[in-house]
A and B are shown apart, each in its own frame.
Chain A
Amino acid sequence: MKEPKQLSVSAIQNGTVIDHVPAKNLFKVIQILGLDKIENQITFGTNLESKKLGRKAIIKISGVFFEDEDINRIALVAPDAKLNIIKDYEVVEKKVVEVPDIIVGIAKCMNPKCITNFEPVTTRFKVVSKKNVSLKCHYCEKITDQENLEII
């Protein structure tokens, strides 16, 4: 049977497409970017086939253009994400995410004796390694590595 060539998530006229999101982290990306709290049209597809990720998700947000600083916040959950900035159905710019130097909120400190796990303190980390992400807690000064990274 011949398959019809069509997009699994329909195109947007103006806005941002976030591609190559690991399927299991789709909702974390939505949460980190606050997409569940905005009025704009958003379409997404998940568990799409991807050679690189196995299963990927794609998000298309109409009428929203992110600052680098904001978009980099998803680097912990979607390090390979690629952004296409769309104007008038054309890709006008491509971006990749970069792990920021400081991570506020988002991640949980793995030290069970850290104050951030006892009181409602916003977590804060200095990124000491970007490749194999390694975070140093601003409060207890202990390291949380990629393996033990948990998103709040």
Chain B
Amino acid sequence: MKNRSLVSIDDFSTEEILRILDLTEEFEKQPTQKLLEGKVIATLFFEPSTRTRLSFESAISRLGGKIVGFSDALNSSVSKGETLNDTILTVNNYCDLIVMRHPIEGSARYASEIASVPVINAGDGANQHPTQTLLDLYSIRKTQGTLDNLNIFMVGDLKYGRTVHSLMMAMSRWNTTFNFISPEELRMPDEFKLYLDNLGLKYYEHNDFTDIISRADIIYMTRVQKERFSDPIEYEKVKNVYVLRNSMLKNTKPNMKILHPLPRVNEIHQDVDSNPKAYYFEQALNGVYTRQAIVCSLLGIK
């Protein structure tokens, strides 16, 4: 995978994804190593995303790499009107790899075509965020022992949720059964359902999940955002339907884990946090190891 970029999860074959997950396992055992000594990595955040940036910077720092970059376009040459083309052509002289977050869709693919060093997409608008998908896959495999034949519940905003779309596409490689739980207005878009139809994978759509929760291996929660609703009354009607509470977890499978890309607002009640089935903070930690694995693979170090 040396000198390749990671823009979309589809850029990697199933074999390559599994190789990243195996490597992540190695980094989890030994997260502090001198593998990136002498390497400079640029983190270009054209829009703020503290969580993702800190995760990358922690991953790189623990491996002895140095970081240059910015956390907000306001503090960079972009505010002076520089094009992305020029920013990338300049920055790629200063570093061995670029991590980029940008509000415009397709910007990461474009940057990867201009840059002479590998580019990792840390989110391009509503399009892709492949390192999130890989850390989700890692969390699923780690907690379930496999990626095959699982029953995945996706809850909340399935229409605009970038992470659920990418995870759904990725998990469709392993004979997954999907349960989509969302308000009518935020249903999984047809193009993704068509994709599953073509693969012959099973999926079910529900408005509520209290009766079926016992079937889940993974519950992937997302935030239902008020601003997604054209009718505020619709939001008021559904806002409490998609909140997970500890009392709902009584009859769930022993292996079941709850995932969330974070930040959480109120969709997982705090009383769930102490339940051993709550996995979202460990999931965030897995993100550091996953990013170590990705950076080292693309630099050809591992």
Contact = CB atoms under 8 A, between A and B. Distances in A.
A114 interface: yes
Contact of A114 (B84, B105, B128): B105
Given A119-B83, A119-B85, A143 B106 contact: no
Contacts of B84: 115, 118-119
Interface residues of A, number: 16
A19 to B, nearest CB: 37
Contacts of B110: 115, 119, 121, 139
B282 interface: no
Nearest to B109: A139
A141 B191 contact: no
A142 B83 CA distance: 22
Interface in A106-151: 109, 111, 113-116, 118-119, 121, 137-143
Main secondary structure, interface of A, reads loop
Contact of A115 (B8, B104, B126, B191): B104
B127 interface: yes
Contacts of A109: 106
Interface residues of B, number: 17
Contacts of A140: 105-106, 124-125, 127
Contacts of B104: 113-115, 118
B126 A113 contact: yes
Interface in B125-140: 125-128
Interface in B85-131: 85, 103-107, 109-110, 124-128
A116 B106 contact: yes
B27 to A, nearest CB: 29
Given A114-B105, A115-B104, A115-B107, 4 more contacts: A114-B106, A138-B109, A141-B8, A142-B105
Interface of A: 109, 111, 113-116, 118-119, 121, 137-143
Interface of B: 8, 83-85, 103-107, 109-110, 124-128, 191
26 contacts: A109-B106, A111-B105, A113-B103, A113-B125, A114-B104, A114-B106, A115-B104, A115-B105, A115-B106, A115-B107, A115-B110, A116-B106, A118-B104, A119-B83, A119-B110, A137-B106, A138-B109, A139-B105, A139-B106, A140-B105, A140-B106, A140-B124, A141-B8, A141-B105, A141-B106, A141-B128
